[in-house]
Structure 1
Amino acid sequence: MNNNRISELDWLRVGLILAVFLHHVLMPFNGDGWHIMNSESSKLLDDIMVYFEQYRLPALFFIAGAGSVLLLRRISALQFLREKFFRLFIPLMVGMLFIVPPQNFIENIGDYESYWQAFPTLALKFDSNHLWFIEYLIVFALFAIPLHIFLKSKPAMLIKSGLERLSFIPSGLFFLVAMLIAIRVGLKIYFPGNDQTISNPASSLFYLFFFVSGMAFIQSQVVWQSISKNRRANMMWLIVSSLIFYGYYYSPDLSGYLPLQTRWSLWWFVCCLVAWSALLTLIGYAQHYLKHTPEWLKLSNELIYPFYIFHQTVIVVIGYYVISWPISLGYKALILLVSSLLVTTSICLLAVYPFNMSRRLFGLKPAKVSVSDDMAYNKALHRTGR
């Protein structure tokens, strides 16, 4: 297995972040109480979006786990931590100080005289907002190092051997969903909140399961290749899981028959079925059909990270004006989609990509630099012990 680049992960990373972008573009129109909301909403849109939000981020955490293994195979643990510091921590700080405040200002625009009057207060809140995903990755990166060491130990060989035996069964890896259900449903009983903070075990351990699964699966070529081999079986499970999901979603009022806790547990159960079966299906079909990484995809993989950092703020700021226009919901959504995509892409290409300072602030490695800049950068890394 190529330790540097796995094409299916490249394709899925870009595709899933674009799916997150599309989700946020449509949020003002689904009646779900987002940062900005259109006066008219679509119940059908909400019914569709609730399905896809079950597996986009779990799949991204799985990819991040697999990527951590690929990186730890090439560099030391200390270099890995420094890499994550520049890749994750600095962009998170910059994002909380400068990218998130405009969103919070728009959401509470009536409380302030101007953005500049509000900025100090908003910036010092250090609100991660949509960047909570990066917070998780920072914490998970700390887990990745000891877990990577463990996965190479003799006790872990038993786990690896068990996974490989399970992977020979067409639906074997799907049945690992039982562990995911136990984590999600069990923890939701004691931590029922829906917040995405890292301190919420019901959320953090749920996503950690996908991250660890990515690390474990990519350790074995047998397991990894079996996902492609068994893609049709996993697709069938996804279809069955989707029918169960929407069967429960559209079920009549069960409050007279089941207590609230039981109804919530059933909801998290069907969500886990979709999340896990969709992950295996996506990975399997991506392996089979997306075997090469063209040059444009390499560039997209580089820019998709700052794209993620900027996208929601761009959507909220533009959307605040678009939703006030006297046109239909469909036209508003289309205008917001096109304008937000153009603006966010332009920021990444014109303001981040060409300049080493902005590249460093938003998690990209420096491009070719002058001798003096290169010396300064190397000195800075040397002071941190790199």
Structure 2
Amino acid sequence: MSRVPIPRHYGLDWLRVAAFAILIVYHVGMVFVPWGFHAKSAHGADWAILPMLAVNAWRLSLLFVVSGYASRALLTRAPGVGGFLWQRTARLLVPLAFGVAVVVPPQSWVELVTQHGYRGGFPSFWVHDYFRFGRLGGIVLPALNHLWFVAYLWLYTLVLAVAVMAVRWRGAQAAFDRLFAGPALLVVPLAWLVCIHAWWFPMGYETHDPLHDVMAHLSYLPAFLFGFALAGSAPVLAACVRWRWPAALLGIAGYGFILAVELAPDGEAPRWLYPAYGAAHAVQQWTTIVALIGFAERHWNRDARVRQMLTEAVFPFYLVHQTIIVLVAYWLIPAGLSGGVEFALLVAATVAGCLLFYIAGRRIRPVRPLIGLRPLPHPVHRAMP
């Protein structure tokens, strides 16, 4: 494939930062909705699902598209496919191992204590129970939890490396440009996602177990590969700009249908409505992504002084944010605060804790690779005159 460097797309950088900011608020929201989570507030409410569903369909697929785009840029600067794979393995698996061993355990402990009657303290749990490689209270330990995204990103990087070596990429890129520069940009991915959500897995759920998560792989791997091809395609980026407003309106319509079903007085959706609900989910998922990429290309592709710091901070924030949310929620449960105060404190504490984690970690040379940051260059020692 071409070794021409891919210019940095500041608009997609801003999308990535915004998507992870949404993720923090989303995971705070998980404390209050009736869906399963590691820590639950006494102020849970069914209505809290509605704003969550505004982003639930597209937030992760967008991150995989942006990750695919970034992978193309990294590959053009790497010393071959093998060098690219080695670099990505170090940047992804080292923080993944650190996260599973050190960052995630408090989440599992809080869930066991608050939902499964576990009576041991955290040090005892971490030393004696966490690394059992089995189940405790129905929870698989050690746990990936939110770090499944990093594991999947590494797996998709492996697939990408094999594809780049096996496919005549110039021809594949030309075919991508021809196909997705027109209305097929909306139609083809949308048809695929409708098959997933309305036909093959109606009202299905992701498992976040890489060996048993077919629905997620069918959705996220194509999104990742689409982003990789998009990085070398000016015509498809132009098509995203051209279709951004129709795509945005379709995304809003898909969310509107989902809202109508959720707000129906009969409660749970009848089984015959599952395919239509899944189709609306698919519409919201893909068209929102196309619209956001179009707006990023047309309006947000410009740099700012804070962008470099924010893009570097995203990975450390992602690594630690859910553990902070779960621990702070656990400490707030006995305080008897109102739901609104709990939510505000959780958001503020999570942002502050993530920022402290990033600022402290980036200054310590051995810690940087553990939290997903590039190693600092070694200082050059000049000889004394």
Match of 2:158 among 121, 136, 142: 142
Match of 1:131 among 144, 147, 161: 147
Q: Does 1:53 align with 2:69?
A: no
Q: Does 1:95 align with 2:99?
A: yes
Compared CA separation, residues 123 and 314, structure 1 to 2 (3 A): farther
Q: Does 1:188 align with 2:205?
A: no
State the SS of the aligned residue for 2:241. helix
State the SS of the aligned residue for 1:241. helix
Q: Which residue of 2 aligns with 1:112?
A: 119
Q: Does 1:197 align with 2:209?
A: yes
Q: Does 1:34 align with 2:42?
A: no
Q: Structure 2: 5+ residue runs without aligned partners?
A: 133-140
Q: Do the aligned partners of 2:196 and 2:215 also contact (CA within 8 Å) in 1?
A: yes
State the SS of the aligned residue for 1:111. coil
Equivalent-residue separation in structure 2 for 1:44 and 1:264 (angstroms): 20
Q: Deviations over 1:22-79 (max 9, x none)?
A: 1111221223232111112232222111221111111001111111111112221111
Q: Deviations over 1:90-144 (max 9, x none)?
A: 1111111111111101111241321111103214533111100011101000111
Stretch deviating more after TM superposition (26-35 or 51-60): 26-35
Q: Which residue of 1 aligns with 2:373?
A: 364
Q: Do the aligned partners of 1:303 and 1:353 also contact (CA within 8 Å) in 2?
A: no
Equivalent-residue separation in structure 1 for 2:275 and 2:91 (angstroms): 37
Deviation, structure 1 residue 212: 1.7
Equivalent-residue separation in structure 2 for 1:264 and 1:119 (angstroms): 42
Q: Does 1:161 align with 2:178?
A: yes
Deviation, structure 1 residue 219: 2.5
Equivalent-residue separation in structure 2 for 1:123 and 1:309 (angstroms): 19
Equivalent-residue separation in structure 2 for 1:337 and 1:214 (angstroms): 30
Q: Does 1:15 align with 2:25?
A: no
Equivalent-residue separation in structure 2 for 1:68 and 1:142 (angstroms): 11
Compared CA separation, residues 337 and 193, structure 1 to 2 (3 A): closer
Q: Do the aligned partners of 1:151 and 1:157 also contact (CA within 8 Å) in 2?
A: no
Q: How does 1:210-359 map to 2 (within 5 A)?
A: 210-251=223-264, 253=266, 260=271, 262-350=272-360, 352-359=361-368
Query: What one-letter code is carried by the residue in structure 1 that aligns with 2:97?
Result: M
Q: Do the aligned partners of 2:230 and 2:236 also contact (CA within 8 Å) in 1?
A: yes
Q: Percent identical across equivalent pairs? A: 23
Query: What one-letter code is carried by the residue in structure 1 that aligns with 2:143?
Result: D
Equivalent-residue separation in structure 2 for 1:252 and 1:148 (angstroms): 51
Query: What one-letter code is carried by the residue in structure 1 that aligns with 2:67?
Result: A
Equivalent-residue separation in structure 2 for 1:57 and 1:193 (angstroms): 14
Q: Which residue of 2 aligns with 1:379?
A: none
Q: Do the aligned partners of 2:262 and 2:268 also contact (CA within 8 Å) in 1?
A: no
Equivalent-residue separation in structure 1 for 2:176 and 2:345 (angstroms): 50
Query: What one-letter code is carried by the residue in structure 1 that aligns with 2:123?
Result: W
Q: Which residue of 2 aligns with 1:82?
A: 86
Equivalent-residue separation in structure 2 for 1:279 and 1:143 (angstroms): 23
Equivalent-residue separation in structure 1 for 2:73 and 2:19 (angstroms): 20
Deviation, structure 1 residue 157: 2.8
Equivalent-residue separation in structure 1 for 2:44 and 2:366 (angstroms): 41
Deviation, structure 1 residue 252: 5.4
Q: Deviations over 1:271-296 (max 9, x none)?
A: 11111011011111122221212232
Q: Deviations over 1:132-175 (max 9, x none)?
A: 001110100011123345362435533432223x2xx4xx4221
Q: Deviations over 1:304-347 (max 9, x none)?
A: 10110000001101111113222211011111111121112101
Equivalent-residue separation in structure 1 for 2:232 and 2:163 (angstroms): 12
Using structure 1 for the length normalisation, give the TM-score.
0.87
Using structure 2 for the length normalisation, give the TM-score.
0.87
State the SS of the aligned residue for 1:39. coil
Compared CA separation, residues 197 and 185, structure 1 to 2 (3 A): farther
Deviation, structure 1 residue 12: 0.7
Q: Do the aligned partners of 2:5 and 2:76 also contact (CA within 8 Å) in 1?
A: no
Q: Does 1:122 align with 2:118?
A: no
Q: Deviations over 1:344-384 (max 9, x none)?
A: 2101111x111121101122111233459xxxxxxxxxxxx
Q: Do the aligned partners of 1:87 and 1:363 also contact (CA within 8 Å) in 2?
A: yes
The two structures, once aligned, show a CA RMSD in angstroms of 2.3
Q: Do the aligned partners of 1:112 and 1:118 also contact (CA within 8 Å) in 2?
A: no
Equivalent-residue separation in structure 2 for 1:247 and 1:145 (angstroms): 43
Q: Do the aligned partners of 1:106 and 1:317 also contact (CA within 8 Å) in 2?
A: yes
Compared CA separation, residues 220 and 115, structure 1 to 2 (3 A): same
Compared CA separation, residues 335 and 156, structure 1 to 2 (3 A): closer
Q: Does 1:173 align with 2:185?
A: yes
Equivalent-residue separation in structure 1 for 2:185 and 2:103 (angstroms): 40
Q: Which residue of 1 aligns with 2:221?
A: 208
Query: What one-letter code is carried by the residue in structure 1 that aligns with 2:142?
Result: F
Query: What one-letter code is carried by the residue in structure 1 that aligns with 2:348?
Result: V
